[in-house]
Amino acid sequence: MRGGAGCVRPGLRRGGGRLLRERRLEIAAAMSVEIGKVRTESIAEVEEAVDLIEAYCGQMEEHRGFVHELGRLVPEHFGLNAPSAVTRARYDRRIDDDRLVELAPVVFEAATTGDAVARGIIAYSLDTQPLPVPFRKAGTPESTEAVQIT
């Protein structure tokens, strides 16, 4: 999403965060009335929400949208130039199902760089079942200690 909506959204969200911060006393008062929180806790919650917005905007700007290492490595593995080209090749059956097992080491490589999507794939796989057969067949390490996913 370089140059697209992903680059515009942080600015829009920061604007919303500024409005929340400007109106924090009103919002905190409404929270106190509706939820029964102490006013200082309500103010702190509004401030925390704005801080989270700022942190996530910073991450989006740092990654220029939702661009991650996996988005570079997967197309590169198949000799293509973009994730959308991989999608198109799968749709056109130029990349068949049998080749998907080749991606296991690519996912692990991306996870070691801190790619959140790759780490999520590994975490989901480890949480739901033993290391899947395609991952073992593709030569991924038997031990996942080398890849810290938390």
Span 70-116, pLDDT tens digits: 888 999 999 999 888 999 999 899 998 889 889 989 998 888 887 87
Nearest-CA neighbor of 95 among 117, 118, 108, 77? 77
Give the tokens for residue 82: 């973009």
Co-location of 14 and 30 in the same domain: yes
User: Has residue 136 got a pLDDT over 60?
Assistant: no
The residue-averaged pLDDT of 6-20 equals 74
User: Has residue 69 got a pLDDT over 90?
Assistant: no
* Residue 37: C-alpha distances to residues 19, 71, 126 (Å): 22, 43, 40
Residue 141 phi, psi dihedral angles, 5° rounding: -65, 140
Determine contact, residues 20/49, Cβ cutoff 8 Å.
yes
Residue with tokens 């509706």, as numbered in its chain: 34
Q: In angstroms, rounded to a whole number, what is the distance separating the alpha carbons of residues 18 and 142?
A: 48
- Domain containing 33 equals 5-62
In a domain, 89, yes or no: yes
Co-location of 58 and 80 in the same domain: no
User: Has residue 8 got a pLDDT over 50?
Assistant: yes
Q: What is the mean pLDDT of the chain?
A: 78
In a domain, 144, yes or no: no
In a domain, 147, yes or no: no
Co-location of 40 and 73 in the same domain: no
* Residue 60: C-alpha distances to residues 9, 14, 52, 65 (Å): 9, 12, 12, 5
Co-location of 89 and 132 in the same domain: yes
pLDDT band for position 54 (cuts 50, 70, 90): confident
pLDDT at 4: 46
pLDDT at 138: 55
Q: In angstroms, rounded to a whole number, what is the distance separating the alpha carbons of residues 92 and 16?
A: 42
Co-location of 132 and 94 in the same domain: yes
pLDDT at 43: 92
Span 14-39, pLDDT tens digits: 788 888 889 999 999 999 999 898 99
Co-location of 35 and 79 in the same domain: no
- Please give the tally of structural domains in the chain: 2
The residue-averaged pLDDT of 41-53 equals 90
Co-location of 52 and 88 in the same domain: no
- Among the three residues 62, 77, 104, which one is the final residue of a domain in this structure? 62
Dihedral sign (CA 132, 138, 143, 144): negative
